[in-house]
A and B are shown apart, each in its own frame.
Chain A
Amino acid sequence: MNASNGVAFTPRTCEELFGVWAGQPEARLLAGGTDLLVRLKKVAAWPPLIALERVSELRGIQCVNGWLQIRACSTYCELAEDHFVQAYAPALAEAARDVGAPAIRARGTLGGNLANASPAGDSIPPLYVADALVELRSAAGTREVPITEFFRGPGQTLLQPQELICAVRLPIRRGWREAFVRLGQRAALTIAKVSVAVAVRVERDVVQEARIALGAVAPTVIRAREAEVWLCGRRLDEKTCEAAGAAAARAAEPISDIRSVADYRRAMCAVLVREALCRVSGQRGVHEHA
């Protein structure tokens, strides 16, 4: 048995939580545990844990004044099944449907995925293309940062000591189409090797605005801004999708690691962007996923 004499707190409100945290500055937050408990398995002496399980302020998904607000402890199951998320953040719903396996989707949370800050975190590219804001809270108050500025590097974020993610807010936009595509070693379990989210606003077949986000091809998730600009004013036909894929892949700066080599990731990036764009354009992608 691990850490059989560790200490765990289960506050019910954020106020209570910050009170506990002030007295235990070295404590770690525990949401679904699907990252943290795996990591602690290799650790002999656990830090005190503060479980978010019962903090009701951190749960729930709602629409407020033109924004979709997703609280941090929403699980992948909740994201995948929520009608607002399906309607206003379809790429996020799609990503959530494919994370891990059922038992991981039942426990893993959006806040945990963001705080973990893996460049392969599946919820992140969809939030990039939705222009999401991350709401952070500490005893001193709340602040909001654009998702594209929240990550500093692998495992690194803007979170300050004793600050937590309380929610993510997405502007409710009309007329946008989104898609999420990922490529992993084994669909169910591995962290996505390369993942792509796209969002486009199309009028009379012509792209007005575009967002392309690439996961696992750089130290953080990135936007392929040149490809986005290039797409504007064009028709989303097969050739355009293909060329945009190639342009987006030029933004990738993949590191070679065990999961795959850099060139392969860059090549896949082009394929996945093409596929995601084909999908939002209504054409069938070349590379269909189960």
Chain B
Amino acid sequence: MSYTLHINGQLVSVQAPGTARLLDVLREELGLTGTKEGCGEGECGACAVHMDGQLVNACLVLVCQAEGHEITTIEGVAAQARWRPLFDAFVECGAVQCGFCMPGMVMAAAALLRERPRPSEAEIVRGLSGNLCRCTGYRKIITAVQRAGERIASGS
């Protein structure tokens, strides 16, 4: 089957069975390998992308469902200058270790900050609650999101 997807601001046409996971189409058909597969069952958030601005797990969306929605992946977020402070804050705070969870963490953080520019700690914990990290213990990730929020909101 042929599907037309709206990904990172571009329309792309892909050949895939309707039951192919968006995750596999992104990684294998489109070479967008920033989106990771951890559990493949909605528990870890490594595969998180935005669909019409909402955080979703690409392992639980099929290509036939994704058609007609605007999809943004970590590559799309990384290309936007407004999110630069978010990446910087993760690095500065030492919130990255092996890095496997990071694309998903950043996608979750960006979705949160768009809705709540200056989130409280509890809101950050809630916003990242679907993302697992086996390395950092979360503390530094929370600090990074707080710092990024401050900077983005104050425009510095």
Return the CB mask of B1-32 against A: 1 if under 8 Å, else 0. Answer: 00000000000000001111100100010000
Selected from B17, B51, B122, B129, the residue in CB contact (under 8 A) with A106 is B51
Q: A residues within 8 A CB of B131? A: 101
Q: Contact: A101 with B129, CB < 8 Å?
A: yes
Report if B55 contacts A (CB, 8 A). Answer: yes
User: A31's closest neighbor in chain B, by CB?
Assistant: B65
How far, in Å, is A31 (CB) from chain B's closest CB? Answer: 10
A230 at the interface (CB under 8 A from B): no
Is A2's beta carbon under 8 Å from chain B?
Answer: yes
Q: Which residues of B contact A101 (CB under 8 A)?
A: 45, 129-131
* B34 in the interface (beta carbon within 8 A): no
Q: Which of B35-68 contact A (CB under 8 A)?
A: 40-43, 45, 48, 51, 54-57, 59-62, 64-65, 67-68
Q: How far is the CA of A77 from the CA of B55 in the complex (A)?
A: 11
**Residue of B24, B61, B108 touching A1 (CB-CB under 8 A):** B24
Residues of B within 8 A of A77 (CB): 54
Asked if A8 lies at the interface with its beta carbon under 8 angstroms from chain B, I say: yes
Chain A: residues with Cβ within 8 Å of the partner, total of 34
Residue of B nearest to A48 (CB): B19
Cα distance A46–B19 in the bound complex, in angstroms:
9
In contact, B130 and A104 (Cβ under 8 angstroms): yes
A3–B24 Cα distance when bound, in Å, is 12
Whether, in the assembled complex, B111 has its beta carbon less than 8 Å from a beta carbon of chain A, the answer is: yes
Complex contact A107–B56 (CB within 8 A):
yes
**Chain A residues whose C-beta falls within 8 Å of the C-beta of B112 in the assembled complex:** 102
Which B residues are in CB contact (< 8 Å) with A34? 42, 60
Which B residues are within 8 Å of any A CB, using their own CB? 17-21, 24, 28, 40-43, 45, 48, 51, 54-57, 59-62, 64-65, 67-68, 108, 111-112, 122, 126-127, 129-131
**5 interchain residue pairs of minimum CB distance:** A101-B130, A8-B18, A6-B19, A188-B129, A106-B54
- What is the interface of chain A, defined by CB distance below 8 A to chain B? 1-10, 30, 32-34, 37-38, 41, 46, 49, 51, 53-54, 77, 100-104, 106-107, 187-189, 290
In the complex, 24 of the A-B residue pairs with CB atoms within 8 angstroms, ordered by the A residue number, are A1-B21, A1-B24, A3-B19, A4-B17, A5-B17, A6-B18, A7-B18, A8-B17, A10-B64, A33-B60, A37-B62, A38-B42, A41-B40, A100-B130, A102-B130, A103-B42, A103-B55, A103-B108, A104-B42, A104-B57, A106-B51, A106-B54, A188-B129, A188-B130
